[in-house]
Amino acid sequence: MSEDLILGIGHEALKVAIFLAGPILLVAMIVGIAISMLQAVTQINEATLSFVPKILAISIVLVVTAPWMIETITTYTTELIQQIPDYIANN
């Protein structure tokens, strides 16, 4: 296997991982910032206050985006497996 092929596979794997993790991380960040602003305004400095809203928001995002995530990872895996003969032939 050539270096370009390995780098291409790694690049695609990282891209898929970022696409799949992006919505979850984005929602967690937005909820975290909103809770931090609320804590700053009300001067309630309870560290555990942000966990429940984040867990609920992330759960909702997972339920909403689960079909898309499953389709994305299935498509990537299927294409990767289908290209194995090409990878071997180019070796």
pLDDT at 39: 87
**With the C-alpha atoms ordered 82, 64, 47, 44, is the resulting torsion angle positive or negative?**
positive
- This prediction has a pTM of 0.79
Distance set, CA 27 to CA 15, 17, 85 (Å): 19, 16, 40
Per-residue confidence (pLDDT) for residue 45, from 0 to 100: 78
What's the pLDDT at 91? 65
Would you write out the chain's pLDDT as a tens digit for each of its 91 residues? 688 888 989 999 999 999 999 999 999 999 999 998 988 888 887 777 888 899 999 999 999 999 999 999 999 999 999 998 888 887 6
